[in-house]
Chains A and B, each alone.
Chain A
Amino acid sequence: MSHHEINYKDLIINGIFKENTIFKLALSLCPAIAVTSNLRNGVLMGIAVLFVQVMVNITISLMRPFIHPRIRLPIFMLVISGWVTVTDLLMAAFAPDAYKQMGLYIQLIVAFASILARAEMFASKNTVVPSIFDGIGMGTGFLFALTVISFFRELLGKGTLWGISILNAKPLLIMVLPAGGFFAVGILMALFNWIDKKYLTSSSTHH
């Protein structure tokens, strides 16, 4: 283990940019559109996912020696749904207003391919500390994506940010409609691709 040190900074950068769940892998897309019509819901959802991802990674990496490889997937699902239930109950207790609007999507975090994928690909093969950093990286990447999407949708669609009025111009109603969510994600994804091709490709070829 000592001859290949895991670089924690790289783990986090990897989650936010190179393997960004939404913009690069195009996974876990449902909440990216469903809850991002305002900034507050987007950020809350991102934090919920970050929490579940880190806790699942910690639990799986701690249980690693005891899980028989043949039944690992059902056990991962059990761990994930356990932590999602915890998040669900916490949200219902402490953020009842937001929960009313996005309760279904909080419960559906359990079906995120990205969380199961990290448990399978990373946490089940690494010790606790790198798993925590991996969870933070992937979760932050998700939080970042949701924040960007909901920032633009609320600003353009309602002229407000976090409920506070910013723009005086007539808002583009379409951005808060379902259709606007698809447009926003499509355009931001293309922007990410463009930046990636233009600036990041040359620096990421050396590994």
Chain B
Amino acid sequence: MEFSRLFELIISASIINNFVFTRFLGLCIFFGVSKKMETAVGMSITFTAVMMISAAISWFVFNFLMVPLDITFLKIIIFIGIVAGFVQASDTIMRKVAPALYYKLGIYLALISTNCIILAVPLINSGEKYSFIESIAFGFGSGIGFALALIIMASIRERLELAEVPNAFKGTPIAFVVTGLIALAFTGFSGLITI
């Protein structure tokens, strides 16, 4: 496996096919935790770690268990089980290691297990038949892309708090319009690398 291919995969997953701006995944979390920079950073780190590890675990399960047993049609049920189990574990670890962060992110951590962005990584990996290293690279790239989106959005929303917004647009609607503008900027990256 040459390095350039992995690099392309990471750039493609994080910037060109950014999960939030071009694949529209994880939007609930994206709008939920992007109000403050601090929570956005904590969430990004958790997400990247969870995505890489769940990509690795589900690759093993998919290739060594589901393909030989011919039960790939059950992948939705099995992947959600893997992700939910792993998130539960990381939840417990975070409560012990970083209680302050846990207190802030508690409700969203509970939601991670049923979050589309985490589940999408193993689904796409198995659909594209990526190798083990490629799967982890894809998970890492997606995590970085999501972190980038969250941090950009959090820094804009901290300013947006002070701006005067028409009444009907207050809250989520204006956040959508802002996201649209960022997405427009991200369209500029399309075609940078073609895999």
Contact = CB atoms under 8 A, between A and B. Distances in A.
Determine if chain A interacts with chain B.
yes
Interface of A: 26-31, 33-34, 74, 77-78, 81-82, 84-85, 88-89, 104, 107-108, 110-111, 113, 116, 174, 177-183, 185-187, 189-191, 193-194, 197
8 contacts: A26-B172, A29-B24, A34-B25, A111-B119, A182-B180, A193-B167, A197-B167, A197-B168
Given A181-B24, A187-B173, 4 more contacts: A30-B25, A177-B187, A185-B176, A193-B173
Given A77-B84, A182-B179, A33 B24 contact: yes
Contacts, number: 117
A43 B31 CA distance: 25
A29 B21 CA distance: 13
B166 to A, nearest CB: 8
Most buried by A among B24, B26, B84, B111: B24
Interface of B: 21-28, 31, 73-74, 76-77, 80, 84, 111, 114-116, 119-120, 123-124, 127, 166-170, 172-177, 179-181, 183-184, 186-187
A150 to B, nearest CB: 13
B115 to A, nearest CB: 6
B168 A190 contact: yes
Contacts of B23: 34
